[in-house]
Amino acid sequence: MTLPAQASKIAEDIRSMRVRGARLIARSAVEALQIVARNSSAGDITTFVAELASAARFLLQTRPTAVSLPNGIRFVMHRVNRDKESGVSLETIRATAVKAAQEFIDNTDTAIQRIGEIGARRIRDGDVLLTHCNSSAVISIMKTAWNQGTKFEVYVTETRPRFQGRITAKALAGIGIPVTLILDDAVRYFMHDVDKVLVGADAVTANGALVNKIGTSLLALAAHEANVRVFAAAETYKFSPETMIGELVTVEERDPSEVISSHELRPLGAVRVRNPSFDVTPPEFIDLIITEQGIIPPLGAMLILEDILGVITPEELQEYQTKTLQEQD
């Protein structure tokens, strides 16, 4: 299947990281699926659903670690497949796909706002915060607290090799928050000046472990050593249902040229370069997770996942996994 040009561009933007952050990745992927639904020329339901399923598989391959992406795709496809089973008309099932996609997109905005309101209560006057990478949820918390009159300052890591921390620093400084940009390697050096660590998440597993930008686990380890509390901010669509049935979250490795150019590497000789984008922080290094549904301890992740599975049953999840594996073979 050939995606519509606009949807194809979105997929490439996700793959190349022109679209960054789990929230924007999920929104963009669902928007691409919505475009496919609107532009489909299928003359029957079977062909229409097959086109959506093919587009979904293509989008799922763009960023394997971003759990928000398959959760967003699943949100739409579950409703489409449910309509297919009920025998509705083609136009009804098309409307369902478009409406479900828009509902997911709208929910991402509501979730960020709600997380900002809930998380802002955890920031106190005079706090020194430390964050890593670029998270819409984290920025929402800090902006909400600042706009409510709470005064604090923030250390932001550069977040190499793509320097997403600079995006965070610019956003926070733009509303007047005092920001200090530091090297990733310097987190332990500055940790004793820090009151709280606040990070986002690309995925949360069933046992409450955090999958986030590479370096997060070392930051959490340094915080644990210094007895500094670590807060994670994550929308519930970043929780991974697959981890309930034994699946592991794929940790993406990106092009080594992001770390060092081929021109710079050549004089070093036969040197291998690896560039993992994410790492896993154990739940024992996380004090709490701030979601749009409220604050939970890491072990409370299972409750969130059970709520997600109120829409998608474990049997449907297992069937989805089996079909996916068969299609990859």
The predicted-structure confidence for 231-288, as pLDDT tens digits, reads as follows 999 999 889 887 876 667 778 899 999 999 999 999 999 999 999 999 999 999 999 9
Q: Kindly provide the b/e burial profile for residues 104-120, where b requires at least 16 CB atoms within 10 angstroms of the residue's own CB.
A: bbebbeebbebbbebbb
pLDDT at 188: 98
Q: Select which of 83, 184, 202, 287 is catalytic.
A: 202
Shared domain for 69 and 133, answered yes or no, is no
Shared domain for 88 and 159, answered yes or no, is no
Q: What are 308's two structure tokens?
A: 């997600």
Shared domain for 61 and 90, answered yes or no, is yes
The predicted-structure confidence for 288-307, as pLDDT tens digits, reads as follows 999 999 999 999 998 888 77
d(CA 145, CA 119): 8
Shared domain for 221 and 233, answered yes or no, is yes
Domain total for the chain?
Answer: 2
Asked about 279 being catalytic, the answer comes back as no
Asked about 195 being catalytic, the answer comes back as no
Is 321 inside a domain boundary?
Answer: no
pLDDT at 309: 56
Long-range contacts of 46-54 (CB under 8 A, 24+ apart): 48/90, 48/93, 48/94, 49/80, 49/81, 49/84, 49/93, 51/1, 52/76, 52/77, 52/80, 52/97, 53/77, 54/1
Please give the residue range of the domain that contains residue 57. Answer: 5-111
Shared domain for 120 and 182, answered yes or no, is yes
Q: Select which of 83, 133, 184, 287 is catalytic.
A: 133
pLDDT at 132: 98
Which regions in the chain score pLDDT beneath 70?
1, 64-66, 245-247, 308-329
Shared domain for 97 and 133, answered yes or no, is no
